[in-house]
Structure 1
């Protein structure tokens, strides 16, 4: 009697192939599938690494801080990796791709800040405008926007001496109060106010971050311009340190607070979320359902893909609306927020 073909082949006969079944080894990767499998793995590497850092609430090291700005867009290579894994017929790789794609999509949902309901009667409507004028190049466009929108607080980043002079002259009547850091290029900044300012201060940073206390409807409101260094390769520590100083300013909850400007960080950066968490602040764009509205870069070959310009508010403010006006001459969109300052609870 012949032996079982599953266990052995009869001498003198050609070997009987082992039938596929439970416990059978997977078929070898066909040569034409190998490029698809390798490419799928490469496409999944970046989304997987960046998403893990996002889920672990860390910004990591270069290039992770830079790539976090692209987080929602990383679903594209993750999806393509899944497609290639299916073409290569590698079930394990395809399952990995599904997990990476799902995690990337979940991480890209609008972030959660402190859920706070503002109580008390509305005391005053406060319109806030935050704008980066790119070395003063968009000064004229900003002047036109301020005249059209009539904000009561204007936070201006990258405002050189000529820009500061033009703004304070143009709005000497409407916005007579100001705190500024006078410097050339990107280091200059100015905060213009229709409300009296006192207690001028500055957060130490490479670029100017002036602040003060505004008197609005009988309440003292801390107002602070934010403009930390961007997370350039080789300067991530500076970026993290300057965002940390903004976090330190926000942490003491001592009444109404408004922090606005070009944060050079998005909702996907842990260092930015720490400012919200420690200061119990809300991003006005998030409160208005617009946390993924991109503000940068407006110039260049790529369309705007990330929101790095923000207006952050304490729970003494309710958010009525947020818009993002274009400024000719700048690589940023401005942020225009309509807020209501509330009375004591």
Structure 2
């Protein structure tokens, strides 16, 4: 039965910790919705009085349900000691810079301390360079690319020093932020999406983000942006397995979709994330709707702790 065959192949790839080949990575992004064809298979098997098909459908639904659970991975232990600062971190993909006005409105309304912006074009850079934005965010790192989708930016209320970012087709700048005397490493994420014919590139760029996370040392680190991947992708779980915590997962909203905004939150995938190392504890996470972009922004509140032993 085709619906059950599709569900079975995708779930087997998930269980085998592989993203497979097209269309497996694309289907993995919507893994929870595979319960629909599994239920359809059960209905059809029941109507056809096919016991084997009923068992197959129930097994496929049970396996899908098992993997819908939030992924724990190599989450770090809870930080200890005094809280140095409480930070609000926002990430937003502006879809070719079109949502720049919506971003500016969100900045005024939500007043995040650190902002990771993806798909920031020349018009976006100009808007972020206005006197009002510079007054609110005097520290920044803007990296424009050769297309409207390629640029990214980091905005900060705290002193910021530019750092070598992660190499990719799209710009992924990095920085070191000084907060309450503590160094905080910040990295924008925006690997290429898993398009047919480009899966190797997608895996390679997520692999570079994993290498950055794995080589972070003991300093508090956050990676924020559009990862073009969900917790059901092995390439993304490999990043988490370096000991990073997904802020949405930590605050109970690990399955809230962030893309595409046209159907979220009813239907979609969570591909926008804020990942944090030990020394940062997520307190809340909210997804915000911005006009003129296919992504929802993510706003996370974090506690920053002092050096951890």
Taking structure 2 as the reference length, what is the TM-score of the superposition?
A: 0.95
The equivalent of 2:87 in structure 1 is 126
Q: 2:13 aligns with which of 53, 59, 83?
A: 53
The equivalent of 1:273 in structure 2 is 237
Residues 225, 259 of structure 1: 8 Å contact kept: yes
Q: Distance in 1 between matches of 2:252 and 2:140?
A: 31
Structure 2 unaligned residues grouped into runs of 5+:
none
Residues 208, 227 of structure 1: 8 Å contact kept: yes
Q: Distance in 2 between matches of 1:57 and 1:301?
A: 27
Q: Distance in 2 between matches of 1:182 and 1:258?
A: 21
Counterpart secondary structure, 2:125: helix
> What is the aligned length?
304
CA deviation after TM superposition for structure 1 residue 116, in Å: 2.2
The correspondence of residues 184-333 of structure 1 with structure 2, limited to 5 A, is: 184-254=147-217, 255-278=219-242, 280-299=243-262, 304-333=267-296
Is 1:85 aligned with 2:45?
Answer: yes
1:147-180, Cα deviation, whole Å (9 max, x unpaired): 1111110000000011012113241112111112
CA deviation after TM superposition for structure 1 residue 342, in Å: 0.7
Q: Which structure is higher in RCO with an 8 Å CA cutoff and minimum separation 6?
A: 2
The correspondence of residues 63-78 of structure 1 with structure 2, limited to 5 A, is: 63-78=23-38
Residues 99, 292 of structure 2: 8 Å contact kept: yes
Is 1:101 aligned with 2:61?
Answer: yes
Structure 1 unaligned residues grouped into runs of 5+:
1-40
Taking structure 1 as the reference length, what is the TM-score of the superposition?
A: 0.85
Q: Distance in 1 between matches of 2:260 and 2:2?
A: 27
Runs of 4+ off more than 4 Å? 300-303
Is 1:44 aligned with 2:4?
Answer: yes
Q: Which has the larger radius of gyration?
A: 1
Out of 201-210 and 281-290, give the one that drifted further.
201-210
Q: Distance in 2 between matches of 1:167 and 1:80?
A: 49
Alignment CA distance shift 1:124-1:74 (3 Å):
same
The equivalent of 2:108 in structure 1 is 147
Counterpart secondary structure, 2:30: helix
CA deviation after TM superposition for structure 1 residue 340, in Å: 0.5
Alignment CA distance shift 1:300-1:86 (3 Å):
closer
Question: What CA RMSD, in Å, does the superposition of the two structures yield over aligned residues?
Answer: 1.5
Residues 224, 275 of structure 2: 8 Å contact kept: yes
The correspondence of residues 12-23 of structure 1 with structure 2, limited to 5 A, is: none
Q: 1:138 aligns with which of 79, 82, 99?
A: 99
Q: Distance in 2 between matches of 1:101 and 1:300?
A: 23
Alignment CA distance shift 1:237-1:42 (3 Å):
same
